[in-house]
Amino acid sequence: MSKSISIFDTTLRDGTQGEGISLSADDKLKIAKKLDDLGVHYIEGGIPGSNNKDIEFFKRVKELHLHAKITAFGSTRRKNSTTEHDENLQRMIDAGVPAATLVGKSWDFHVHTALQTTLEENLAMIGESIAYLKRKGLEVIFDAEHFFDGYKNNPEYAAAVLGAAREAGADWLVMCDTNGGTLPNEIQEIVSGLALQLPGAPLGIHTHNDCELAVANTLSAISAGARQVQGTINGYGERCGNANLCSIIPTLQLKMGYHCIPGDSLPQLTNTAHYISEVANVNLPVNQPYVGNAAFAHKGGIHVSAILRDSRTYEHIAPELVGNKQRVLVSELAGQSNVLSKAQDMGLSLDPSSEQARKVIDKIKNLEHQGYQFEGADASLELLLREATGEMNELFTFESFKMLVEKTAGSPVVSEAFVKLKVGGDNLYTAAEGNGPVNALDNALRKALLTYFPQLKDMHLSDYKVRVLDEKDQTAAKVRVLIESKDYSDTWNTVGVSSNVIEASWEALVDSMRYALLGQISLENDTEVSSGPRGLVNH
């Protein structure tokens, strides 16, 4: 039997059913691109026509020219109706994607209670809907909702549902544990039975984590013959979440001898998990298997001395295989080599054994301890490293800012900012209003700098993220602000941290402008302004 597993990601559909997960069309497109880079086979994009975000996603995703197949999700036709007049099916076709995920009932209780129709009509709804989508040229993945509950209640009917779907031409028959209540040995038994009953059928598995068994249930189904896994990144999904692809893929690939994604993509797993959690704006649990920051972190004293002898003593795999790294929590040994390799990437000469190198590494560690994160803020890191190597030329000096927000009942809120700077010997004091405090600061800062550096008008802030770091500390908690900036050719990211959201935003804003001015010649030496690339590397 083939050892190739088809990976079907539903982060963008089932994942958004998770509490607190809400994705814009832009977020969805970013995630789709990232999933495609990882090498998944199917990306379920959403429910076409259900809301504007999903409509926009299906329209724009084609421009990305992804390798993965995009699928549109929808239900079988309405009862006592025809496929030709079914709005749902029409929307799936209109989405213009190569595949459709069609969900149908397989639990007799649900057919009676939720659909309120007969068992025969449900089979007709499934068969006709699949045949119709196939005639329209779509690949059809059939999701048999509540399959295991259905099988336990009425095995003949559940099997008949899969039989009808297969006969109508479905490309995949996916058994769903929709309520997440089934146990691994039950899954093993039921899937093995079906593999015998429907020889050669392309079976898939879709599980939920209500008993903390979604991963185990998926592995059971694969062992019993299923060849497609449906799941989400980080296990996002309704209630307790869906099966977590970040745990399933490495276990299947590294421990069970299956092939899921290209081997050279597996080290992208940790980065993919973190990236998607950032876009979704939810914290990635530190203890998340394989990809969490603590997944290979050692705290116990005995453990630490043993792993320093041989890391296999307390690590089940080499963390690098999934792009993660070992951390020793007592002494932060990690990081150093990263920083040095980063400096090298930027073409900066930083001797690893020098006092200079030790100082900047200490500084970065100290900043990370305060909550800075340079993984998503390359430009701020480059500024730090340039300062350390003496290759930084400051073109302006900050003196002070004031920020005033005023609101009177019945009137719109007003934000004003006042900024004092020194540029090339000149003292500047500017004031500006804005749509919110950060916008006001941005406007006041620009007003001051534009007279000297007119090319700054080509740059703008393209993304702004706020993350509360220690939520236990109420409103006095620390806040990390990440700003993405763009001009016609480049994109760069900067970071600021403070217990004050305004100060954190200001820091990231100032870094963004400082970075934009890298490569500019100091006004005090020369007024000529270079038009070449600002940095030494591409971003």
Residue with token string 């984590």: 209
Tally of CB atoms within 10 A around 46: 26
11, 23 Cβ separation under 8 angstroms = no
Give residues with Cβ within 8 angstroms of 416, minimum separation 6: 403, 404, 406, 431, 432, 433, 434, 440
Nearer to a copy of itself, 112 or 363 (CB): 112
Beta strands 414-423 and 426-434 are: antiparallel
CA gap 391, 369 in Å, rounded: 25
* In the complex, minimum distance from the CB of residue 67 to a copy of itself, in angstroms, rounded to a whole number: 26
* In the complex, minimum distance from the CB of residue 454 to a copy of itself, in angstroms, rounded to a whole number: 20
407, 533 Cβ separation under 8 angstroms = no
* In the complex, minimum distance from the CB of residue 155 to a copy of itself, in angstroms, rounded to a whole number: 19
3-class SS letters over 337-376: HHHHHHHHHCCCCCCCCCHHHHHHHHHHHHHHHHCCCCCC
Nearer to a copy of itself, 95 or 501 (CB): 501
244, 206 Cβ separation under 8 angstroms = no
Nearer to a copy of itself, 39 or 241 (CB): 241
* In the complex, minimum distance from the CB of residue 344 to a copy of itself, in angstroms, rounded to a whole number: 21
DSSP state of 244: B
* In the complex, minimum distance from the CB of residue 23 to a copy of itself, in angstroms, rounded to a whole number: 11
CA gap 185, 180 in Å, rounded: 14
* In the complex, minimum distance from the CB of residue 354 to a copy of itself, in angstroms, rounded to a whole number: 27
CA gap 139, 422 in Å, rounded: 63
462, 485 Cβ separation under 8 angstroms = yes
Nearer to a copy of itself, 26 or 391 (CB): 26
Phi and psi dihedrals of 444, rounded to 5?
A: -70, -40
* In the complex, minimum distance from the CB of residue 222 to a copy of itself, in angstroms, rounded to a whole number: 11
Nearer to a copy of itself, 314 or 536 (CB): 314
* In the complex, minimum distance from the CB of residue 516 to a copy of itself, in angstroms, rounded to a whole number: 14
* In the complex, minimum distance from the CB of residue 528 to a copy of itself, in angstroms, rounded to a whole number: 28
299, 286 Cβ separation under 8 angstroms = no
Half-sphere exposure of 133 (CA within 13 A, CB side): 40
Residue with token string 């379920």: 44
Nearer to a copy of itself, 16 or 430 (CB): 16
* In the complex, minimum distance from the CB of residue 132 to a copy of itself, in angstroms, rounded to a whole number: 21
Q: Dump strand ranges (E) for 238-338.
A: 297-298, 327-328
182, 149 Cβ separation under 8 angstroms = yes
42, 7 Cβ separation under 8 angstroms = yes
Nearer to a copy of itself, 70 or 441 (CB): 441
Tally of CB atoms within 10 A around 414: 13
Nearer to a copy of itself, 23 or 130 (CB): 23
* In the complex, minimum distance from the CB of residue 216 to a copy of itself, in angstroms, rounded to a whole number: 3
Nearer to a copy of itself, 73 or 452 (CB): 73
* In the complex, minimum distance from the CB of residue 65 to a copy of itself, in angstroms, rounded to a whole number: 22
Among 388, 327, 326, 380, which Cα is nearest to 352's? 388
Nearer to a copy of itself, 317 or 431 (CB): 317
In the numeric block, which tokens belong to residue 470?
A: 């220690």
Nearer to a copy of itself, 197 or 397 (CB): 397
CA gap 436, 419 in Å, rounded: 16
Nearer to a copy of itself, 374 or 453 (CB): 374
CA gap 120, 164 in Å, rounded: 11
Nearer to a copy of itself, 37 or 375 (CB): 375
Nearer to a copy of itself, 71 or 178 (CB): 178
* In the complex, minimum distance from the CB of residue 514 to a copy of itself, in angstroms, rounded to a whole number: 15
Angle subtended at Cα 484 by Cα 244 and Cα 498, rounded to the nearest 5 degrees: 85
* In the complex, minimum distance from the CB of residue 192 to a copy of itself, in angstroms, rounded to a whole number: 13
Q: Dump strand ranges (E) for 119-218.
A: 139-145, 172-177, 203-207
DSSP state of 259: B
